[in-house]
A = this chain, B = another copy of it.
């Protein structure tokens, strides 16, 4: 059990790209370019029978022609050349073969499925591990491994395993925009040899990985997957988007990665029992990875020595949330979506009102939780100040701060105002001993100045490793699930 994925899979000493190409618009070019750009340190060999040089590197006509050792091969050649490539790889002492090459079992054709089985047997006989086929392969920026030049250069602590190549790219790019950075990512396609269970086993023990996300379409061994999920989820949060939950989705998964998708209810039960967090959409997947990467959890809070004695009145068992920022409409919406997400939205505690009364006696009995920013306007009390009071008050288990409504963006000095506001919030966020989510955006303005103001503000928050959501409803759901997860696993 376990041990089938080793560091050699993510951090090989040498790499050859078979089917490397000078065509900048081809995968055979992308792989070479990515490894060069990410600074892969070991020897890197483009293999192409008709090119002398690719991406500035000397190219070789065949794997056998490479002078040195080759530990890891990336294959971009057509499927019918793969058996011969395995023979050549065996002769060369290759340990891992990543097959970007597709058109195997997923085509639904008997001869392609037979070829896939032959590939599996031949590789097993040669002692070569297979990643794929039909996938993007491996990313580990700390080792210079990447499958696209535009992926984040700096490594992080979130891992992602994906049966879909495109999903792996989209998760990394849209996740990066939310501040996520990655320890290891693998797009593993048809999972002919190394499977989701193998990667989960590896990530459970990977010291560089603190949070794990997964896009899984199906499995060949439900029991092994359950065990690997449970082991991994005991070590760190695991968020799973299951593709092929429905009849149509399952049929589509079969033609995508030849996966046996299985029933939704079975999967949901398996994920729940394994302690993983199940999500239904790509947005939710990113939202929960952001939550686990950036929200402080109750354990940390306890470790910080805060609130261990002064425990809030638990009431009905729901976690209670405080919300600041935004005008009256946003305050009402915030209250609705938080309560609908399962959070309690208590009234502003008297202790906080008493503090507010000193500076703003007229407003102290009017302003409430969620805090309507427009009530505070001109009072000398800022939303950020109320947020600080809420963070210090035991009534609140978690906080949400709406930042930079469109009103700010309409001001002539929007970018500076936004930066000033965000910096104040970011300073509070860095100190927060409770889960604190920020709402900013979406950065969807066709107006470049506004886009820059929102995007710049978001980057200031994510640079401070804070959780940012594009809407208060998405923040509310993420905070509620984050808090519930902490309770169920720690409590």
Q: Residues of B contacting A217 with CB < 8 Å?
A: 332
- Contact indicator A329/B443 (Cβ below 8 Å): no
Question: Interface code A310-336, partner B: CB below 8 Å = 1, 0 otherwise?
Answer: 000000000000000011111111111
Cβ contacts A to B, 23 pairs, < 8 Å? A102-B374, A106-B366, A108-B365, A164-B328, A166-B326, A166-B374, A166-B406, A167-B327, A170-B405, A174-B442, A243-B336, A244-B335, A246-B339, A248-B336, A252-B334, A255-B366, A255-B372, A256-B372, A280-B336, A280-B473, A441-B444, A442-B444, A451-B455
Query: A61: shortest Cβ distance to chain B, in Å?
Result: 25
- Contact indicator A368/B336 (Cβ below 8 Å): no
- Contact indicator A328/B174 (Cβ below 8 Å): no
CA A444 – CA B443 in complex, angstroms?
A: 6
Q: A167-B329, A252-B368 known; A336 and B407 CB under 8 Å? A: no
- Contact indicator B253/A332 (Cβ below 8 Å): yes
CA A243 – CA B333 in complex, angstroms?
A: 6
CA A25 – CA B417 in complex, angstroms?
A: 12
Query: Is residue A169 within 8 Å, beta carbon to beta carbon, of the partner chain?
Result: yes
Query: Is residue A209 within 8 Å, beta carbon to beta carbon, of the partner chain?
Result: no
Q: Residues of B contacting A170 with CB < 8 Å?
A: 405-406
- Contact indicator B166/A407 (Cβ below 8 Å): yes
Query: Is residue A281 within 8 Å, beta carbon to beta carbon, of the partner chain?
Result: yes
Question: Interface code A93-128, partner B: CB below 8 Å = 1, 0 otherwise?
Answer: 000000000100011110000000000000000000
Q: Name the contact of A332 in the complex, choosing from B24, B243, B471 (C-beta under 8 A).
A: B243
Task: Specify the chain B residue showing the minimal Cβ separation from A253.
Answer: B332
Could you tell me which residues of chain A, from 223 to 254, have a CB within 8 Å of some CB in chain B? 243-249, 251-253
- Contact indicator B256/A473 (Cβ below 8 Å): no
Query: Is residue A411 within 8 Å, beta carbon to beta carbon, of the partner chain?
Result: yes
Q: Residues of B contacting A447 with CB < 8 Å?
A: 150
Query: Is residue A148 within 8 Å, beta carbon to beta carbon, of the partner chain?
Result: yes
